[in-house]
Amino acid sequence: MERFALLNATLFIGDGSILENATVLVEKGRIVKVSKADSTTIPADFFRIDLDSFFLMPGLIDAHLHLTGMRSGDTIKEHLLVPYETLVARTVKDLEFLIEAGFTTIVDAGGSIAVNLKEAVQEKTIVGPRIVAAGHSLSQTFGHGDAHYLPIEYVDPRSSRFKTPFGSLICDGVDECRKAARYALRCGADFIKIMSTGGVLSERDRPEQVQFTKEEIEAIVQEAKHAGKFVHSHAQGTEGIKNALLAGVKVIAHGIYIDEECCELAKKFDAIVVPTLSIVEHIMRYGREIGIPEWGLKKSEEVYRSHVENIKLAYQRGVKLATGTDFLGGTKAFGHGDNALEIVLFVQKLGMKPEEALVSATKIAAEAAGLSKQVGTIEVGKLADMIVLKKNPLEDVELLMNRENVVMVIKEGEIVKNLL
């Protein structure tokens, strides 16, 4: 349908406001009118869809995940023993799970699969959310992205024929960082992903440890800006978060040890923090069962409480927070399609109101994806990315976890799921 009208909806616009008994007109993939039903004249050639007071809102956005095709927490086994083509096939299924759950845009924060599948989604060869992809991440030698259990020539895709869903461009010093950024852009990156600290699921470093100098990060940010792109940083420790913000990084992922000074810097530079509470939540619940190594479990336990408390501080200080799960794909844990967990955790752990959490999953997440002019709110001129829910998630945010409650998914004006 090129033209249709959604009628009688309870409309959540995406900025926190509600419009009762709303009508939304869609033409050629874009929103052309938003108004009260009684003030709208619907042209005769528009197909009418009566939503009967169902809840209409922008499509959900996961602003930090990874399309890897993994089905367990044993990354060594998945990297070395599962054929790459199997991982890609699983990822196609994960994309279906995501769109069925109401996610119309996802941000893949590092990996080889998404950057090469996004075109297949665009041309509708496969069904899934819009993909914004970093492609290969940038890591220093002995950094969070340097998979030390592999020979280093296997880690860096520039010197390897070994295919892995991860892999990083290993770079040290300003010149190498600049060249690696250009290589990532050459490979089709929509933004550049870097590692400015150690992490939880990298064995030989820790979240508090600084990686990349401020000068190295500045060089990467400059190359991104030259190409009209931005930088998204894995940043868990306080000093690494601060370095990234001062160097001009737009998106801070994880932010485990964010402090008041970092909060003020984030607000000053209009940066966005994507806390990814869900990944640690699932490691704590299911980690041992799905094969997370003992050192990963131990570090998760160490950071869990601090992570929640520090992100709560960021929320209270007015830092922009976007939803992102860091999910990798999986069965019992990390499964794509369960990504609304982050919205639930924003309410349960941070004390957000449900409407604030929905803004984080739409309007703010669109900013984190670099798409704020295109999606994230239901406004005239934007792409018609919308979902219809049978029951109102503002009354019970956990309703977003039930895919059967998502009765319609519209992406760029095309109805890709319809249970009405």
pLDDT at 318: 98
Q: What is the pLDDT of residue 73?
A: 87
Kindly state the average pLDDT of the residues 190-205: 95
pLDDT number for residue 74:
84
Domain 3-59+376-418 annotated CATH 2.30.40.10? yes
pLDDT in tens, 381-408: 999 999 999 999 999 999 999 999 999 9
Q: How far is CA 153 from CA 111, 158, 171, 268, in A?
A: 17, 8, 13, 40
Total Cβ atoms within 10 A of residue 172: 16
Flag whether pLDDT at 1 surpasses 90: no
Work out the pLDDT band at 263, boundaries 50, 70, 90: very high
Q: How many beta carbons lie within 10 A of that of residue 410, not counting itself?
A: 25
pLDDT, tens digit, 9 for 90 and up, residues 37-90? 776 689 999 999 999 989 999 999 999 999 999 998 888 788 889 999 999 999
Specify the higher pLDDT residue, 283 or 74: 283
Q: What tens digit of pLDDT does each residue of 344-359 get? A: 999 999 999 999 999 9
Say yes or no: do domains 3-59+376-418 and 60-368 share a fold. no
Which of 65-74, 269-278, 325-334 is modeled with the greatest confidence?
269-278
For the chain, percent of residues with pLDDT exceeding 90: 89
Q: Does residue 181 have a pLDDT over 80? A: yes
CA dihedral 301, 368, 67, 62 (to 10 degrees): 70
Confidence (pLDDT) at 362 = 98
User: What is the per-residue pLDDT for 413?
Assistant: 98
Span 231-246, pLDDT tens digits: 999 999 999 999 999 9
Q: 409 has which bridge partners? A: 387, 417
Q: What share of the chain is helix, strand, coil (3-state, %, to 5)?
A: 35, 20, 40
Question: What pLDDT, on a 0 to 100 scale, did the predictor assign at position 153?
Answer: 83
Predicted pLDDT at 261: 98
User: What's the pLDDT at 39?
Assistant: 64
Please name the residues in contact with 163: beta carbons below 8 A apart, sequence gap of 6 or more: 84, 112
Paired residues of 8 in beta bridges? none
Domain 60-368: give its CATH code: 3.20.20.140
What is the token pair recorded at 77? 């086994």
The pairing of beta strand 30-36 with beta strand 18-27: antiparallel
Q: Could you tell me which residues come within 8 angstroms of residue 161 by beta carbon, excluding any fewer than 6 positions away?
A: none
28 band by pLDDT with thresholds 50, 70 and 90 = very high
Rounded to whole angstroms, the maximal C-alpha distance in the chain is: 66
User: What pLDDT shows up at residue 419?
Assistant: 96
Q: Average pLDDT of the chain?
A: 95
* CA 394 from centre of chain: 22
Q: What pLDDT sits at residue 167?
A: 87
- Would the pTM of this model clear 0.85, i.e. be above it? yes
Residue type, 233: S
Helix (H, G, I), strand (E, B) or coil at 118: helix
The Cα–Cα gap between 301 and 116 comes to 35
Nearest to 32 by CA among 7, 4, 54: 4
**Per-residue confidence (pLDDT) for residue 196, from 0 to 100:** 98
Provide the 8-state DSSP code for 419: -
- Domain boundaries defined on the chain: 3-59+376-418, 60-368
Average pLDDT over residues 353-378: 98
Predicted confidence at residue 150, as pLDDT, reads: 83
